[in-house]
Structure 1
Amino acid sequence: MPVLRWVAWEADSLGEIIIMPHVLGPWSDLGMGAMGLRLFSTKRGMAEVMPRLAEVEADVQGLVEAHMEIMLGVRFLASEYSTGPVHGGRIDSLGLDENGSPVIVEYKRATDAGVINQGLFYLSWLMDHRDEFQHLVRDRIGAGAAGRILWSAPRVICVVGDFTRYDVHAVREHRRSIDLVRYRLYSDDHISLETVASVRGHAGAPRRRSGAGARTAAAPGRQTADRAMADLSKALDEVLLGLGDDVAAVRRKQYTAYRRLRNFVCVPPARQAKTLVYVKVDPREVDLTLGFTRDVTGLGHHGTGDLEVQLRSERDLERAGELLRLAYAGA
């Protein structure tokens, strides 16, 4: 099921928004018929808000670059970055995601058959010029971030007016992490981002069955508590990866991040008595339970997410299921 993220400015100019199912209709010429969505404003009666493409590519690029961390979970580094006279070309946007992975963002106003290959062309240049990228991160963000770049999981994000089925097939043939994101503008105040396809890079984030942050298989004689935590971590890993084919597990020393376009769950290595799970759900919207859920907004911890869920048993994992699905849907 595609994900629809909304980013709004001066939302009250449109009023309350209702999204209703729709199979075929006036959006088909924009490639929206398959989405099954219609958007209405109720501020003055009931008026349908029609989608549109940007006038020029630069409008989309400027909007995303100005709000990249909110929209894509990526810290903006540079725009129109030159790859030099030998390689030739300019990377639309360079960034660093929540896990320290280098990110190339390419934009097209409408459908463009070359956007994926263009992004991969620039990614190849980036992997050959790691020192240059590291200097850029140091200058823009700081030495700490520059020293924690995750080179095993670079990404390409294509923000485009529309994609074809050939584009979706093409990304599945590559070994890199590629996200195809379709944008639409509504009136002057809303933009939607829909993840059309998200492919994990085989080298950086393979599916694992050994458990999120878990140690290797339990040796004979290991204490029962350790074995139980290893089993629980494995079950958690399977649940998170099973939420959708677009879930990637990005492993760092301090945590494993599960992401779609952006992180939705982070899991540090399991402790002897419990597994901590940091979930991208607003703690203010959850009925917190002592010993199970905790608001950690502003508290230091590895990874992202302001809601801490404490798992001590597979029963706790079942209790957490709805929170995990909610975080996945919002990513």
Structure 2
Amino acid sequence: MPDLKLYNTKGGVTEVAPRLADAEADVQSIVEGNMEELLGVRFLASEYSTGPVHSGRIDSLGLDENGAPVVVEYKRGVDSGVINQGLFYLGWLMDHRAEFQHLVRDRFGATTAAQVLWRAPRLICVAGDFTRYDVHAVREHRRSIDLVRYRLFGTDLLGLETVASVAGRTQAAERVRRRAAGLPPVRSHSGALAELAEAVDEVLLGLGDGVSRVQRKQYRAYQRLRNFACVCPPQKTKLLVYLKADPTDVDLVPGFTRDVAGLGHHGTGDLEVQLRSERDVERAADLFRASYAAG
């Protein structure tokens, strides 16, 4: 983002210079007020106290689209301590699950609280910038960590850039281990549709760096900071994929794509793609890329 230039074209061309916030609290206020739109995370609590023993305050607590607990930490500029601080709070959170679930129950109800995805907790660090050592550190860690750089432009524009997005070691390590051992991918279904699901998995994971996969009972989510695709378990004759692409921007084809905005379904996304063959996967490639870019 430091290389990104923004221009106002009204009455000529004038560069809108990027700047940092006056205070860390200003960044926190903007994100907390719009957390679901900016990060794909439902807001739970601000400045949450970890009690007298740990004597700290978690900047923000939230719940992501897949039900995973999220710790969000902010820094106005560059601060190498933000990652370690966030990991400390993430560790505290894993030791105080009942307390977190109580927060979720009060905010979103008992059903949501019972479905918290504890195997995939996340840390999101929002800061003015990160060093190359920060990026290297998160890639070596076993937790799911997202580094997000912000910039303010003018008086009312905010820019966010994902600098690094790393899946938890438990997901990535198993995938690497099986490949290194020459073992086939883990499959929960048999037959042609299972092979189709693995083809989709390979395509979605290969869209770019930092794509992580989160397995839920009802669907498998693919995300980089937030979900961009959700794949449901194979049905009898087809595989359903839900994308964040805008259905109104797509030429819908009956039997292949469908606008499901406002309709109940598993996963997230308003564009349903129905896959029956590898040719359909090829047809859907542009839609996959558009959803990835939008996420």
Report the TM-score, using the length of structure 2 for normalisation: 0.95
The 3-state SS of whatever aligns with 2:290 is helix
Higher helix share: 2
Letter in 1 for 2:118: W
Report what 1:306 is aligned to. Answer: 270
Q: Which residue matches 1:90?
A: 57
Partner of 1:115: 82
| 1:44 to partner: Cα distance | 2.4
Q: Aligned residue for 2:7?
A: 40
Identity value in percent: 69
Structure 1 position 205, deviation (Å): 6.4
Amino acid across the alignment from 1:59 = D
Whole-Å separation in 2 of the counterparts to 1:210 and 1:139: 40
CA deviation profile, 1:34-55 (whole Å, cap 9, x unmatched):
xxx2111112211111000000
Q: CA deviation at 1:230?
A: 1.2
Task: After the TM superposition, list the runs of 4 or more consecutive aligned residues in structure 1 that deviate by more than 6 angstroms.
Answer: none
2:106 to 129, 139, 157: 139
Matches of 1:205 and 1:302, distance apart in 2 = 24
In the alignment, structure 1 residue 210 sits paired with structure 2 residue 181: no
Return the alpha-carbon distance in structure 1 between the equivalents of residues 80 and 188 of structure 2. Answer: 44
Q: Paired residue for 1:165?
A: 132
Q: In structure 2, how many angstroms separate the alpha carbons of the residues matched to 1:192 and 1:298?
A: 29
Cα distance in 2, alignment partners of residues 207 and 51 from structure 1: 41
Q: CA deviation at 1:138?
A: 0.5
Gaps of 5+ in 1: 5-31, 219-226
Report the 3-state secondary structure (helix = DSSP H, G, I; strand = E; otherwise coil) of the residue aligned with 1:250: strand
| Map of 2:166 onto structure 1 | 199
Secondary structure, in 3 states, of the residue corresponding to 1:86? helix
Residue identity matched to 2:67: G
- Paired residues in the alignment total 287
Counterpart AA for 1:74 = V
Q: 2:97 aligned with 1:130, yes or no?
A: yes
Pair 1:176-2:140 in alignment? no
Comparing 283-292 with 240-249, greater Cα deviation is found at 240-249
Say whether residues 1:295 and 2:259 are aligned partners. Answer: yes
Equivalent pair of 1:153/1:205 in contact (CA under 8 Å): no
User: Is 1:247–2:211 an aligned residue pair?
Assistant: yes
Question: CA 1:97 to 1:175, structure 2 compared with 1: closer, same or farther past 3 Å?
Answer: same
Q: Distance in 2 between matches of 1:56 and 1:229?
A: 52
Match of 1:224 in 2: none
* Distance in 2, Cα, partners of 1:201 & 1:215: 21
- 1:262 match: 226
Unpaired runs of at least 5, structure 2: 176-183
Superposed counterparts of 1:19-34, under 5 Å? 32-33=2-3
Give the Cα separation in 1 of the matches to 2:283 and 2:23.
47
Is the CA contact 1:207–1:241 (under 8 Å) kept in the aligned structure 2? no
